[in-house]
C-alpha cells in the first residue's frame, strides 16, 4: 500500500523531482604511494602501490561483470620530454567471483595491488597526471574518485619512492595532492541484494514495480482506455485464428515495452551530475509545464480535442501492418504518440525516480511502465470475452476525463508556483495559491455531484423510475474533494497545513497570519545576534513556518554560518534544501514544527539553509569559479551550494542535514537525510549537542 499511495502522486510530473536518496560520508579506504624504478638507460617503471582497508576491494582493469564496474584509469599529462611505452599493467592476488546483483563474474583486488606504467625519459623531470578508480565493499560502491599524482625522475640511478602518502581522509598540498573528487551519490551501486537499502533509495526491482503500477494506472485514462478494445478487436478480427491473434498481441505488447525502455535508456544516458535536477527545477521548465498542463486541462474539460500533429500518427500508422514485427512496432508507436496527453504526467513522474535509484534507474522505471501499459492488451487478447464489459463503459469515462482535467488544472498552478518562487515574482503567494486549489476542489465536487455539466458529458445513469442518480463511487470522490477543500481553507489565514505543507508555497510568502499582527514578514522576524546575513532579502520568502512563526535564526551563506558558529559557540545545522523540494517541505512541516525539535533548533544550533536550486540568485563575480563536479562555471547561489554539498559532504540530494562545528568538523558520523521520524531526529540533535559540548567545554 505504501508504494501504491506514492503512485497516486506520480501524476505530479516533476513535483517529486527533489526527492532524496540517503547517503553517508564514508572515507576512501585506499592509500596510494608512488615509486620510480629505473630499468635501463632512460627507461623507468612508474609504480602505483595501493593498499585497501579490510572488506574493501578495487576493480581490476578488466573487471567483467555487467559493465557498471568502473576500472582504474591513469591519465598522464603530455610532455615532449618523456614517452609512454605500452599499457598500464596490474599485479596482485586477483579474484574473480560472482556477486549478487551483478550479471556475470567480476574481477577485483583486495588488500593490495600494484599498477605499473613503463616510460622513456630524456632528463630530470616531474611526471604528473590524474588517476580515477572506484572501490566497493560487500554492500555498496563509493562514487568514483579522481586524484592527482606526481613522479620525480632523477639521474642518480636510484629507486625513488615519493615520500608523500595519500590518506584519502586528508588534504595534501605537496607533489601529490588530492584533486577535486567526482561525486554523485545517486550513482552508488548496491552489490548485494540481502543488504537493506536506505529508506528512499530504490532498487532496480522496486523501480520496475513502481513503473508497472504507473503503467496499469494510466490504462484508465481516456486516451489509452478508448484504444484498448479497438486495438484488441483489430488483432482478433484480422487474424486467421485466436492463436495468431494472441501472438500478434504479444508482439504488440513487446513493442510497447521496447519503445518505453528506449526512452528510459535515453534518460539514463543523460543522467549525470545535476543536469536533470537543474532542468526540473528551472523556472523556465516550470513555466513550460504550467502552459502544457493548462492545455491538457482545457482539453480534458472539453474546450477542444488535443492531438499531436496528424502527420506524426499518419506516418507511423502508414507503416503499421500485421505482416511483420516492424509493422506491429509502428502500431505500438502510434499508441504512444496519440496517448501522449494522458501518459505524459505519469512519464514525467517517473523521471523523478532517477535520483532514487542506481545509474540505470530510469531504464528500469520506464521498462516497468511499458510492461504495465502493455499487459492489458495481452490479457484482453487471451480473454476476449472481457471486451464486452469494456464496450459497456457508458458515461463514466467522460467523468474520469473531466476529473483528470481538474487535477491537471491544479497541478498547472503548482508548476507556476515553482517558477514564481524561483524568480520571486510574488504572483502566487501562499494564500492565493490555496484559494485557487480550494475553488478547483469545490468545483470538482459540484461536477461529481451532477450540479455542473460539460458539453461532452453523457446523461447521468437513471434508476428504475427514470430518475438520474449518483453512483456510490462518484459520491465518495465528491465527498473527498469537499473534505480536501475544507482542509485547505484555514491555510488562507496562516494555518500550517502539515499534511500539504510540501505542496503549498512557504509561509514566508503569506501576507496575513492570524495572531501575527497582520504582517507575517515583520511581526515574526527572527532575532539576530550574529553577522549580517547575505541573500536574506531574496531568500527570506522561502523560510518555512518554523522559522517565521517561532523566531529561528537562519543563514543562507555557508561562510557566514561558520562565522556565526565561531561567535555564538553553537554547532551548525547545514540544511541542504531546495525551493521546489517536496520532501524538504515535509521535513519542515512535520519535523521542524514539533515543539521539542523547535526548542533544540532555536537554543542549541545555528541553521544555514543552503538552497541548491536557487540558480536565479547570483553570487559576486570575484567568488565565481569553475566546478569539476557541475562541469560549468559557478555563478549562482544554487550552483555554489550544489558544488559544496557534493565536493565537501559527498551528497547531492535534498533534504540533507550535516552538523559541523566552526572548523567544519563533523559532529555526527553520518548526514541525516529525509526521515519524518520526530523522535529519531531529536535523538540525532541530542547526540550532536553532546559531542559538541564534549569538544568545546
- Across 405-428, average pLDDT: 84
3-state secondary structure of 572: strand
3-state secondary structure of 410: helix
Q: Could you count the other beta carbons within 10 Å of the beta carbon of residue 258?
A: 16
Q: Could you tell me which residue, 317 or 441, shows the higher pLDDT? A: 441
- Cis check for the bond before 696: say yes or no (omega within 30 of 0): no
Query: Which cell numbers hold the place of 331?
Result: 502500431
Q: What is the pTM of this model?
A: 0.49
* Selection from 561, 597, 291 nearest residue 415 by Cα: 291
CA dist., res. 691 & res. 666, Å (int): 10
- Of 10-24, 139-153, 272-286, minimum mean pLDDT range: 10-24
CATH class of 30-187: mainly beta
CATH 3.40.50.920 applies to domain 507-695: no
- Across 326-347, average pLDDT: 69
Angle at 490 between CA 485 and CA 492, to 5 degrees: 95
Per the CB < 8 A criterion, the answer to whether 168 and 31 are in contact is yes
Model pLDDT, residue 50: 94
Model pLDDT, residue 502: 63
Model pLDDT, residue 286: 80
pLDDT greater than 50 at residue 164: no
Model pLDDT, residue 615: 79
Query: Which cell numbers hold the place of 13?
Result: 510530473
Directed axis angle between helix 325-338 and helix 340-351, to 10°? 90
CA 285 from chain centre, in angstroms, equals: 16
Q: Could you count the other beta carbons within 10 Å of the beta carbon of residue 60?
A: 21
Listed in sequence order, the residues at least 6 apart from 564 whose beta carbon sits closer than 8 Å to its beta carbon are 530, 531, 553, 555, 570, 572, 606
Listed in sequence order, the residues at least 6 apart from 456 whose beta carbon sits closer than 8 Å to its beta carbon are 302, 398, 401
- pLDDT band at residue 688 using 50, 70 and 90 as cut-offs: very high
pLDDT (tens digit, 9 = 90+) per residue, 496-526? 787 776 678 877 777 776 655 444 443 333 3
Listed in sequence order, the residues at least 6 apart from 360 whose beta carbon sits closer than 8 Å to its beta carbon are 68, 204, 268
- Across 549-564, average pLDDT: 84
CA dist., res. 667 & res. 573, Å (int): 10
Mean pLDDT of the chain: 75
Model pLDDT, residue 681: 93
Percent pLDDT > 90 in the chain is 17
CA dist., res. 311 & res. 6, Å (int): 37
Which string of b and e fits 92-131 if b means at least 16 CB within 10 Å?
Answer: beeeeeebebbeeebbbbbeebebbbbbebeeeeebbbeb
Amino acid at each position: 500500500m505504501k508504494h501504491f499511495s506514492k503512485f497516486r502522486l506520480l501524476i505530479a510530473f516533476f513535483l517529486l523531482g527533489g526527492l532524496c536518496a540517503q547517503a553517508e560520508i564514508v572515507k576512501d579506504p585506499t592509500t596510494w604511494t608512488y615509486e620510480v624504478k629505473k630499468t635501463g638507460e632512460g627507461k623507468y617503471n612508474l609504480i602505483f602501490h595501493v593498499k585497501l582497508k579490510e572488506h574493501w576491494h578495487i576493480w581490476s582493469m578488466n573487471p567483467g561483470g555487467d559493465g557498471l564496474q568502473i576500472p582504474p584509469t591513469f591519465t598522464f599529462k603530455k610532455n615532449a620530454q618523456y614517452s609512454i611505452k605500452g599499457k598500464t599493467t596490474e599485479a596482485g592476488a586477483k579474484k574473480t567471483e560472482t556477486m549478487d546483483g551483478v550479471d556475470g563474474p567480476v574481477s577485483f583486488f583486495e588488500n593490495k595491488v600494484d599498477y605499473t606504467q613503463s616510460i622513456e625519459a630524456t632528463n630530470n623531470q616531474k611526471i604528473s597526471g590524474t588517476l580515477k578508480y572506484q572501490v566497493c565493499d560487500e554492500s555498496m560502491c563509493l562514487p568514483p574518485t579522481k586524484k592527482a599524482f606526481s613522479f620525480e625522475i632523477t639521474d642518480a640511478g636510484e629507486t625513488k619512492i615519493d615520500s608523500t602518502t595519500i590518506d584519502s581522509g586528508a588534504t595534501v598540498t605537496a607533489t601529490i595532492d588530492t584533486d577535486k573528487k567526482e561525486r554523485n551519490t545517486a550513482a552508488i551501486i548496491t552489490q548485494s541484494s540481502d543488504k537493506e537499502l536506505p529508506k528512499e533509495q530504490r532498487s532496480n526491482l522496486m523501480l520496475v514495480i513502481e513503473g508497472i503500477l504507473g503503467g496499469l494506472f494510466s490504462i484508465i485514462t481516456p486516451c489509452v482506455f478508448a484504444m484498448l478494445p479497438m486495438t484488441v478487436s483489430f488483432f482478433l478480427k484480422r487474424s486467421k485464428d485466436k492463436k495468431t491473434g494472441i501472438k500478434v498481441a504479444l508482439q504488440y505488447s513487446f513493442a510497447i515495452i521496447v519503445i518505453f525502455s528506449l526512452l528510459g535508456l535515453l534518460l539514463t544516458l543523460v543522467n549525470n551530475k545535476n543536469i536533470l535536477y537543474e532542468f526540473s527545477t528551472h523556472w523556465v521548465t516550470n513555466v513550460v509545464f504550467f502552459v502544457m498542463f493548462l492545455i491538457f486541462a482545457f482539453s480534458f474539460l472539453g474546450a477542444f480535442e488535443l492531438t499531436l500533429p496528424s502527420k506524426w500518427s499518419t506516418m507511423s500508422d502508414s507503416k503499421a501492418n500485421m505482416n511483420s514485427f516492424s509493422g506491429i512496432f509502428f502500431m505500438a508507436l502510434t499508441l504512444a504518440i496519440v496517448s501522449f496527453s494522458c501518459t505524459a504526467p505519469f512519464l514525467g513522474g517517473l523521471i523523478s525516480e532517477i535520483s532514487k535509484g542506481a545509474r540505470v534507474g530510469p531504464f528500469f522505471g520506464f521498462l516497468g511502465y511499458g510492461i504495465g501499459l502493455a499487459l492489458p492488451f495481452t490479457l484482453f487478447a487471451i480473454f476476449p470475452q472481457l471486451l464486452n464489459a469494456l464496450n459497456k463503459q457508458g458515461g463514466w469515462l467522460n467523468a474520469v476525463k473531466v476529473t483528470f482535467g481538474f487535477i491537471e488544472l491544479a497541478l498547472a498552478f503548482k508548476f507556476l508556483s515553482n517558477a514564481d518562487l524561483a524568480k520571486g515574482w510574488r504572483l502566487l503567494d501562499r494564500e492565493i495559491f490555496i484559494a485557487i486549489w480550494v475553488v478547483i476542489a469545490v468545483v470538482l465536487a459540484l461536477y461529481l455531484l451532477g450540479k455542473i455539466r460539460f458539453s461532452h458529458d453523457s446523461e447521468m445513469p437513471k434508476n428504475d423510475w427514470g430518475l438520474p442518480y449518483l453512483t456510490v463511487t462518484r459520491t465518495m470522490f465528491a465527498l473527498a474533494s469537499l473534505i480536501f477543500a475544507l482542509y485547505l481553507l484555514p491555510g488562507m489565514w496562516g494555518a500550517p497545513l502539515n499534511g500539504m505543507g510540501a505542496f503549498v508555497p512557504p509561509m514566508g510568502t503569506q501576507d496575513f497570519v492570524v495572531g501575527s499582527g497582520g504582517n507575517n514578514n515583520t511581526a515574526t522576524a527572527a532575532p539576530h545576534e550574529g553577522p549580517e546575513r547575505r541573500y536574506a532579502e531574496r531568500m527570506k520568502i522561502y523560510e518555512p513556518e518554523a522559522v517565521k512563526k517561532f523566531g529561528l535564526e537562519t543563514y543562507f551563506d555557508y561562510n557566514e554560518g561558520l562565522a556565526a558558529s565561531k561567535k555564538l559557540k553553537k554547532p551548525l545545522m547545514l540544511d541542504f534544501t531546495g525551493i521546489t523540494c517536496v520532501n524538504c517541505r515535509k521535513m519542515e512541516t512535520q519535523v521542524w514544527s514539533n515543539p521539542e525539535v523547535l526548542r533544540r533548533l532555536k537554543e542549541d544550533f545555528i541553521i544555514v539553509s543552503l538552497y541548491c536550486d536557487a540558480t536565479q540568485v547570483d553570487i559576486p563575480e570575484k567568488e565565481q569559479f569553475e566546478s569539476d563536479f557541475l562541469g560549468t562555471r559557478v555563478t549562482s547561489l544554487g550552483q555554489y551550494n550544489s558544488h559544496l554539498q557534493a565536493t565537501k559532504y559527498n551528497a547531492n540530494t535534498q533534504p540533507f542535514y550535516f552538523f559541523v562545528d566552526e572548523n567544519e568538523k563533523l559532529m555526527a558520523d553520518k548526514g541525516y537525510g529525509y526521515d519524518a521520524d520526530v523522535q529519531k531526529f531529536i535523538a540525532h540533535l541530542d547526540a550532536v549537542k553532546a559531542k559538541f559540548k564534549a569538544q568545546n567545554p
